[in-house]
Chains A and B, each alone.
Chain A
Amino acid sequence: MSDYFERIERQIVRRVEAGVPRRSRWRLRLDIVVPTLGAVVVVAIAVVFLSVRGSSSPSSGASRGIELVYQAEPTPQTPVLTRAAVARAIDVMRARADARGMSGASFQASTSNEITVRLPGVTNIARAERELGQTAQLAFYDWEANVLTPNGKTVASQLETRNANALVISQGVGSLAPGDPGAGSVGLYQAVTRASKQPVKPSAAHLSRLGPQYYMFGAPGSAACAAAANASATTLTAGQHCLLSGPDASLQNLLSGLPAGVSGSQGQVLTVPQGWVVLQATGLSASQQTSFTSPAAQFYVLKDKVALTGKDITNPQQSTDATSGPNVTFGFTSAGAKAFQNVTAAIAMRGQTVSTQGQTLDQHFAVALDQKLITVPSIDFRQYPDGIQAAQGGDISAGLTKASARSLATEMRLSALPITLRLISTTRLSVHG
C-alpha cells in the first residue's frame, strides 16, 4: 500500500501530465478589469463576497484544529445549486457539530458552492469528515414488524403470545413510551452483538443501507478503553465495553478512526450485516439528548425494511401544533402517500388483530434520522382502520423545542433533497515554531 508522500506524488504527476490548470474565469476577468476599474471592482467583490457568506464566520487567529472545505454538487433531485441549498447544508452540518460536541465550530459559504468548516480542537480529519459531510438518512419503519427482542425475533411475531419483552418494546413501560431509552432498549455493545448474529439480507429492496456496518469495541477495563475515554474526555463506565471506533462502512475507515494510542489488535470488531440496523433510542425530551457514542446511550435493533425514506416526503417545515407546541409538518410525494397509507393500514390491522376486549395494543411506526429514533407514534386502529390518508401530510411533535423542530425540519429537507458534499481540501490550523 502506498504511503502519504507517494499518493501526493502520484496526484501531482497526474496534474503535471495534464498541464497547468488555468485560473478560474472570475480571476481571469479580474486580471483584465482591475487595471481599468480599480477600486470600483474591489468594492464590488467585497459586496459579492459578503453576500455569499454564511451566518457564522470563522474565528481569526491560529489555534489547534482543522479546516475542511466541501464542494456542494448538484444531484438529480437538485440539478441547480442555490444559496438556499448551501445554507441548508450548513444548518445540518452545524447541528451535527453541536451534537458531536465540536464546540466553536464555524461554517462559511466561501463561494456559491463551497463550504469552509473550521473545527478548533479537532485533530482527526477522517472522523470529522465522516461525521459532518454525509447526507442525512431519514427512514420510516413499521415499528413492531421490525424491532427485535433479545431472542432475535420481531416484536410483532410475539404479541399474540404476549411475550413480556415484546410487550414492553411495543407498549412501553410505566411512563416510558415505545422507542424511549429503558423501554426494552440495550447498550450499544449488546445491540450490535444482537444485530451481528442476524443473517445477511441479500435483497437491496427497501433497505436504508447497502453493505455491512462495522464497529470496534474495547473490553471492559482495558487500556484501549482508557485511551479512548481520555481522547474523548468522557468517563468510563465500569464493567461495560466501550466504543473505540465506528460505525463505519469499511474496515479501513474503522481503523483510521481509532483514538490515538489504540491499535486494531486491541479491539473487537463486530459487523452489522446488510438488512439490519442499530438505532439509538429517542431522546426523552429536547433537553435530554444523549450522543450516539455516550456510554449512557440506549439502542434497539431493527430489520432494515424501510417503509418510506426522505425521498418520499415533501416540504418539511417547522410549525406549531394545535396546542401551540413546536412541530414539523411535511407532505408526501404521490408514491410516498401511497406507501404511508399502506404501512399505516398494515399497522392498524395488526393492532386490531393483537388487541383483545380487555387489552388494546395500538401499534406504531418509527421515524429515524441518521441512526437515531426521532419519534415512535401510535396508530389508533379504531380511528384509522384503513390507514391514514396522507392528503393532509404528516407531522412530528414529540419532545421538540422550537430550535430542535427547526433543526429536524432542516435535516429532513436535506434528506429529501440531497446535495452531494465532496471534501476538496483539509488543512491543519496549527502551525508551531
Chain B
Amino acid sequence: MLLDRERTDGELLAAVAAGDGAAFAVFYRRHLPGVVGYLVRETGDREVSADLAAEVFAAIFLVAGRFRARGAGSAVPWVRGIAQNKLRQSRRRGRVEDRARRRLALEPEVLDDADLARVDELASAGGGGALDLIDQLPERQRVAVRSRVLQGRGYGEIARELECSELVVRQQVSRGLKRLRDELTEGER
C-alpha cells in the first residue's frame, strides 16, 4: 500500500473525485505553499492571498475529476492555471472570487494576526522553486520546515519528534526559510 506522500497528484485527485477526504488533505498540504507563494507574489497582500487560496482549493475539489495527468503526473501547472484564472477573474471583477466556496457553502473564516504570519511562512516555503530547494536543506532544517510549513504541525509536536525544545524547532524553521529565501534571491539575480 502506498504511503500518502508517495501517491501522485493524479492518484490523489482521482481519489478526491471519488469522495476521499484524506486524499484531498494530502493534496492540499502538498500544494498550499506553492499556491500561497504565487498569490502573495502576484498581489502583495496576505489577506487577499489567503482568501484566494481558499477559493482555489475549493475550485480544485469541484474540478478534480477533470485532471488528466501528464509526464510524472505533477499537478503543479494545472493548479497554477486555476490560481491564475481565479486571480484574473478577481482583478476583472474587483473582488476576490468566491464562486466555488459559495457553491460548496463554505463558512467564512476570519484571519487573525497568527494566520497572517502563517501566510508569510507558506509564502516563504512556496516561492517559485522553493519546494525543490527544501530537499537541499540540512536534515534538521528540512524536517522542521516540512513538518511545520508543509504539514502544518505544531511546534510542540515537532519538538517531541525531534527530541529538542520548541525554541530549537522555531530556530530551525526560521533558518531554513531564510536559507530558502536567500537561495531564491540568488537564483533570480
Contact = CB atoms under 8 A, between A and B. Distances in A.
Interface stretch (B68-76, B97-105, B174-182): B97-105
Interface string A197-224: 0000000000000000000000000000
Interface of A: 3-9, 11-17, 19-21, 23, 60-63, 67, 69, 125-126, 256, 423-433
A327 to B, nearest CB: 40
A427 B98 contact: yes
B77 interface: no
A245 to B, nearest CB: 13
Contact of A13 (B21, B54, B107): B21
29 contacts: A3-B152, A4-B50, A4-B115, A5-B50, A5-B115, A5-B152, A8-B53, A8-B54, A8-B57, A8-B109, A9-B29, A11-B107, A13-B22, A16-B19, A16-B20, A21-B105, A63-B94, A67-B95, A126-B110, A425-B102, A425-B108, A427-B96, A429-B95, A429-B96, A431-B43, A431-B90, A431-B95, A433-B44, A433-B45
B21 A14 contact: yes
| Interface size classification for chain B | 35 or more
Top 4 closest pairs, chain A to chain B, by CB = A62-B94, A4-B115, A13-B21, A426-B108
A62 B32 CA distance: 27
Contacts of A14: 21
Interface of B: 16, 19-25, 28-29, 32, 42-45, 47-48, 50-51, 53-54, 57-58, 61-62, 87, 90-91, 94-96, 98, 101-112, 114-115, 118, 122, 152
B84 to A, nearest CB: 12
A3 B90 CA distance: 24
A19 B19 contact: yes
Contacts of A427: 51, 95-96, 98
Contacts of B53: 5, 8
B104 A15 contact: yes
B174 to A, nearest CB: 18
Contact of B51 (A63, A256, A428): A428
Contacts of A21: 103-105
A11 B44 CA distance: 26
B96 A431 contact: yes
A61 B94 CA distance: 6
A399 to B, nearest CB: 37
Interface centre among A4, A62, A432, A433, by most chain B C-beta atoms within 10 angstroms, is A4
A303 B62 CA distance: 53
A313 B120 CA distance: 53
A9 B20 CA distance: 13
Contacts of B91: 62, 431, 433
Nearest to A127: B110
Given A4-B118, A12-B57, 9 more contacts: A5-B50, A7-B109, A9-B28, A9-B29, A17-B21, A256-B110, A425-B108, A431-B90, A433-B44
B96 A4 contact: no
Given A19-B19, A432-B48, A424 B28 contact: no
A225 to B, nearest CB: 20
A17 B25 CA distance: 11
A433 B46 CA distance: 12
Contacts of B103: 21, 23
A378 B111 CA distance: 48
Contact of B24 (A12, A62, A425, A429): A12
Nearest to B24: A16
A30 to B, nearest CB: 15
B58 A12 contact: yes
Contacts of B107: 11, 424
B50 to A, nearest CB: 6
